Amino acid sequence: MWMLAGSRERFFETLIQQYGDFVQYRGPVNFYFINHPALIKQVVQSTNDTFDKNSPLYDRFRRAFGQSLVVAEGSQWKRRRTVVQQLMGPTQIRTYFDLMVDSANKVIQQWENAARESAVFDLAPDMDRLTLEIIGRALFQDSFDQSRDAIRDWTLAIDHFSSKPPLPIIRGKWFPSRVNYRLWSTLRDFHRFIQQMIDEQRSSSNTGLLSLLCHSGEKDGLPRLTDEEIRDEVLGMIIGGHESTSVALTWIWSELDRNPAVESRLHAELDSVLGDRAISLDDIPKLVYTRMVIEETLRLHPPIWFENRNVTREVELGGVMLSPGTMVAFSRYALHRHPGFWKNPDMFDPQRFEPGREENLRSTHAYIPFGGGPRVCVGIHFAMLELIVLLATLARRFRVQVDGSHRHQVSALLTMRPKHGLRVRVSLR
């Protein structure tokens, strides 16, 4: 229990080491833990309609996110998914490319100053601010700049609440805790801000993501979302659309420092494809190794590392009949390091993801950084484009070296991130 409270990823690793890939756990929270791709594929895809997100963990998320895609179920989920998926498809997200490049260029200016001064700084907040700016500008366009600090404060408060374990004693809305009070206050201010933005967008013809949500169903044949539904989706996009990406970027810089041969090959590709010019949309398919570096980082360090489901009707799983109300959980962190499906699983090796490589068989569900089945992350295309653009733009100009003062420790809460950030020096290439 001490391990579950203080080092959750190690807790699940210990379960696997001692009991295998299918474990029944009894404790303050009872659940079945699965760590085999076939079992996970059944839960998220083959019999996904037998599992939902009506569990204590997701009930806590509902307190913050309302009925957004992260937690919605049934017809409500399908309706919202139809709208958001249409707006976040591969073609649509290309319209945010210039915005991503522009935001990355602002970091270049800051890092050039840090390089000249040989300054040591925590890179993690830089990545957090960068990805928050991108999703904020994609949603609100120029209005984001006016409310940047407030939006950041709100996201920190909601993230802090969501990362707390759903202990029975304190998970009720009525419990007068400091965390609960902060959530009430944050959601009140956030909802007021979003409603003001919605009112403005209803009468405008902007091309931002919020405006598209507000005007859905008018000409495109999509369902029309209510103000409350838009408010919930915007919050889910802000939290899910920036934190997981910023955490992934932080881990990428850490792994490049630890693997100089990988860093050299990445730089060689960037020099060959980009040279001294800025990245363009036409370059994205050519940055094959850059994408492989990102995919290997998401294997070893999946930001959203843990999931669970609730059984809705009796179902057979792993030879056991599970009754309604049973919780089933799995860890992407453990799955992505499964020695039965990955050679030298703890080694950072982007070449695993070469086209045609044996380990690059996504259909096995041994690799699911964005989830799988019908509920695969709706922002997958936005996130991958963003990661490629930001990594290519910054790595073309800088080398990032982890400073000796950095203390490495993993924090596995809502996302899995370096607990103490990432203290680095940057130098011009």
Burial of residue 113, with CB atoms counted within 10 A of its CB: 0-12 exposed, 13-18 middle, 19 or more buried: exposed
Rounded CA separation 130/100 (Å): 9
| Side chain identity at residue 99, one-letter code | L
pLDDT for res 169: 46
Which is more confident, 187 or 203? 187
Q: Could you give the angle at the alpha carbon of 155 between the alpha carbons of 182 and 87, nearest 5°? A: 135
* Total-model pTM: 0.93
Which is more confident, 173 or 133? 133
Percent pLDDT > 70 in the chain is 94
Rounded CA separation 133/20 (Å): 43
Residues 27-55 pLDDT 10s: 878 899 999 999 999 999 999 999 999 98
- Of the given ranges (72-81, 112-121, 266-275, 323-332), which has the lowest mean pLDDT? 72-81
**Stretch 144-153: mean pLDDT:** 83
Residues 74-89 pLDDT 10s: 989 999 999 999 899 8
Assess whether pLDDT exceeds 50 at residue 56.
Answer: yes
pLDDT for res 297: 98
Which of 285, 252, 247 is CA-nearest to residue 266?
252
Domains of the chain: 2-428 (1.10.630.10)
pLDDT for res 172: 56
